[in-house]
Amino acid sequence: MKYFREISVALALLALLVALAIVAPAFFQPQPLLSLATREAPTLIVACGMALVIICRQIDISVASQFAICSVCAGLLAAMKLPLVVVLPASICIGAILGSINGALIAGLGLPSIVVTLATMVTWREALRWQRQGEFVNLPDNVQWFGLSQFAGQWTVIAVAVVLLILLAIAMKRIAAGRFVYAVGSDAEAARLAGIPPQRVTFLTFAFMGALVGLAAMMNVVQSPQVDPKSGTGIELKTIAAVVVGGVAISGGRGNLWGAFAGLLLLACVSPALTHLHVDSYWEKAIQGMIILLAVVADGIRSKRGNA
């Protein structure tokens, strides 16, 4: 079945939600759910980019550091009383620059992405720690929720993420650039022979990833009156896990954004579900790990069968 993986993740999510509906119906109160969706919206934006990077047969583990740098820069610009119409593009540009650095090193010099992004992850993070000393950035009053009401602000953040997901999902299927990413991810040499420049595609994928991180950081900054310089810590693991659970092959060229979306929904529900089920928090990370392991094992079994 073509969408076997996406459907099985969706079914797992459904099973979790049904179990919660029976055992802990309080999970389905509108306010906490809206809050949960708003909190996860920036992660969804990063997960979209991560799906592209992984489809392109690369990986970016520096996204959390990019996220923190964009958050702090956006915060500092906003604190200088610059309007959001300036701060938002600035944050996206800073992200795109950081992404381009990764892209140039990986595509231009042909270095392995895991090593390059590991290095930039540590470099950006430590530079920021040195610069900020962990100090929060306090924002002016009109930044939170774009100056709208909390309700309108929350829906705006969610809408940005969801519209982006839909547009990108369509673009990956229908637009040449989207097909190029798949082509380079499945076989770079074949893509080159077909006239697709693999290096340029790889570079642009990383730059785009950075821009998405800048957007995501901004969607997170507007959710509170202060910016934590450690914002986004762990987002690389969460998004890579979501993408892999959602059926995007870590070997590149296969998978889609809807799977990544389903994977993220499943992982995002685990932590609040455990709180609602009053399960000891010691289990949380173990359960998340088990979900990822299951996904990878399923992948392994499927590709074995495919080869046989």
Which residues contact other proteins (rule: CB under 8 A)? 24, 26-27, 29, 31-32, 35-36, 39, 130, 133, 136, 138, 150, 220, 223-226, 228, 230-234, 271-272, 275-276, 278, 281-282, 284
Cβ of residue 210: shortest distance to other proteins, in angstroms?
20
Residue located via tokens 């399960």: 279
CB of 22 or CB of 26, closer to other proteins: 26
Token digits of residue 142: 């009109």
Q: 53, 226 in Cβ contact below 8 A?
A: no
Cβ of residue 295: shortest distance to other proteins, in angstroms?
23
Q: 253, 187 in Cβ contact below 8 A?
A: yes
Q: 157, 41 in Cβ contact below 8 A?
A: yes
Cβ of residue 31: shortest distance to other proteins, in angstroms?
6
CB of 186 or CB of 271, closer to other proteins: 271
CB of 172 or CB of 213, closer to other proteins: 213
Cβ of residue 134: shortest distance to other proteins, in angstroms?
8
The beta-carbon contacts of 76-81 under 8 Å, at least 24 apart in sequence, are 76/137, 78/139, 78/140, 78/143, 78/221, 79/137, 79/138, 79/139, 79/140, 81/140
Rounded Cα gap, residues 241 and 99, in angstroms: 20
Cβ of residue 112: shortest distance to other proteins, in angstroms?
28
Rounded Cα gap, residues 282 and 303, in angstroms: 33
CB of 155 or CB of 302, closer to other proteins: 155
CB of 39 or CB of 179, closer to other proteins: 39
